[in-house]
Structure 1
Amino acid sequence: MHGAAIPSSDGDRRAVPLRTPRLRLAPVSAPDLEELFALHADPRAFAEDLTEPLTERAQMRWVLRQWLESWRRHGTGYLTVRARDEATAGLPPGLLGVVGLTPLELEGRPALSAYWRLAPEVRGHGIATEAMRAVLADPRLGASDREVVAVTAVGNGASRALATRLGFTPAPPQREVPGGRSGDVMLIRQR
């Protein structure tokens, strides 16, 4: 079963989790704050990234507000990744990671920015690939009708390999990398 958070006329959202053979993905929510902070404060989760881990819970609280606003305004955003059920072999309980798509204006056109961050203990088990394939395949999240980009550090081999598995290729060199940070590269998903 696939699903997504669909905004309602009153600004609320009705979250229907995405399900894969091993995973359950649900739009981020306020009760996820502590687990999200633990993930985003873990230096191991940023080992090949140019981004620094968070150091204060207030930082994650601010980020989470932005993520919730994306769901409210655009009907797409970041999702928590958890084992589908207790019987899922080899996956720990709790938050396994965060994946998703957020709106971005790129060269004057609407696009989506892909995001993934996994708990270090579940890397190398296909979790991000499985989760992002579900996100990219669900038409309600917008990947079928907009350009999807991923921005990662040039030296982040794991993230670049994942992007390749998901159908992303390096952007032409004349395209500006969102965020303007030196050391980053933009990849574009081929539809």
Structure 2
Amino acid sequence: MTELRTDRLVLRRWRDTDLAPWAAMNADPEVREHLGEVMTREQSDASVALFLEEFDRRGYGWWAVEVLSTGEFAGFAGLDEVDDEMPFSGVEIGWRLARPAWGHGYATEAARAVLAHGFDVLGLPEILAITTATNVRSQAVMRRIGMTRDPDGDFDDPSAPAGPLRPNVLFRITPATRS
């Protein structure tokens, strides 16, 4: 599994010691505000097992994000194939951080490293980003990393219940539009 490093972060393979802080993140209603219901410990642990399996199979996926100066688990960032039920296909970038990691620029820093890996190493022709229409923080990160909103691509997420999680926005970036 490829490890990515930035000035302040390391994006690395998941460890057993990540399971408890990952579960705490997924049980935090503020962290899950734009994602849906909080997750149980079992669901959270199962997600990491799936992340590892997919990464090993595809060569990319969700890295654990660690703060270099402290060794603290901060969340995750990476690439994933767009779900089959979506009205488009491709590879999407994403991130999720624990609340103590918010406001430090870690999401932007990790996302830039992931974009570079996606374009420069994997040779992807385009990377997408998806979030709820109300998730202005993630949309701000998408803009900071050079992504452009595709208003023709906005959609209602078929996997989300009716309500504020259903309307989603789509952002795109290609190697040619990357800054």
TM-score range, shorter chain: 0.7 to 0.9
Deviation at 1:185?
Answer: 1.5
In structure 2, give the amino acid aligned to 1:66. Answer: L
SS of the equivalent of 2:73 reads coil
Task: Summarize deviations over 1:35-72 as a string: whole Å, max 9, x none.
Answer: 2111111112124x142221x11111221122111111
Partner of 2:46: 62
Q: 1:73 to 1:177 in 2, by over 3 A?
A: farther
Q: 2:11 aligns with which of 25, 30, 44?
A: 25
Aligned pairs for 1:1-191 (under 5 A) are 5=1, 16-47=2-33, 49-54=34-39, 56-86=40-70, 93-104=71-82, 111-138=90-117, 139-140=120-121, 142=122, 144-173=123-152, 179=158, 181=160, 182-191=166-175
The unaligned stretches of length 5 or more in structure 1 are 6-15, 87-92
Moved over 4 A (4+): 105-109, 174-180
SS of the equivalent of 1:173 reads helix
Q: Distance in 1 between matches of 2:125 and 2:153?
A: 20
Percent sequence identity over matched residues?
31
Name the TM-score, length of structure 2 as normaliser.
0.80
Q: Distance in 2 between matches of 1:179 and 1:129?
A: 28
Q: Distance in 1 between matches of 2:7 and 2:27?
A: 29
Task: Summarize deviations over 1:115-142 as a string: whole Å, max 9, x none.
Answer: 11111122111111111111111233x3
Deviation at 1:153?
Answer: 0.9
Deviation at 1:152?
Answer: 0.6
In structure 1, give the amino acid aligned to 2:57. Answer: R
Name the TM-score, length of structure 1 as normaliser.
0.76
SS of the equivalent of 1:113 reads strand
In structure 1, give the amino acid aligned to 2:133. Answer: V
Aligned residues: 166
SS of the equivalent of 1:134 reads helix
Partner of 1:10: none
